[in-house]
Amino acid sequence: MMNQQGMIALISILVISSVVLTITISLSWYSTAELQMSWWANKSEVAYELAISCMEEGLNDLRLDWTNVSKELSIDGDSCIINIETTVDNATVISTATVGDLTRSIIVVVDDSLEFTSWQEN
């Protein structure tokens, strides 16, 4: 038969071990969540920058020729789609960039002197 002090020591070790294990698991989960959020934020920023670049490409196309355009660009495995719809005095440029599973869009409206009249980000 185990004495009472041995039983108290064993229970104390089990309780302390449980608390340490719970804290360790919580910290690991928190670190994983932070890492995942950081990864998504990075991908979102890359997609945004790609959308900006493609929008600039679309505006350059308008500078050269005021016509409707629809084209796709690929940069380092990521892609963007540029759609331009023109009227006599304004144009709508839609740039949609995809990086992995993440998509970002920028929609701008410019007048015939290429001055921005509207800017929307999604």
**Whether pLDDT at 1 is above 70:** no
Domain covering 4-121: architecture: 2-Layer Sandwich (3.30)
**Whether pLDDT at 2 is above 80:** no
**Tokens of residue 71, six digits:** 């084209």
Output the average pLDDT for the chain.
Answer: 90
Let me know how many helices (H) and strands (E) the chain has, helices first.
1, 5
Residue with the bigger pLDDT between 67 and 33: it is 67
- Tell me, what's the pLDDT at 60? 95
Query: Taking the domains of the chain in order of start, what are their residue ranges?
Result: 4-121
**pLDDT, tens digit (0-9, with 9 covering 90-100), for 39-81:** 888 899 999 999 999 999 999 999 999 999 999 998 888 999 9
Query: How far is the C-alpha of 96 from the C-alpha of 16, rounded, in Å?
Result: 54
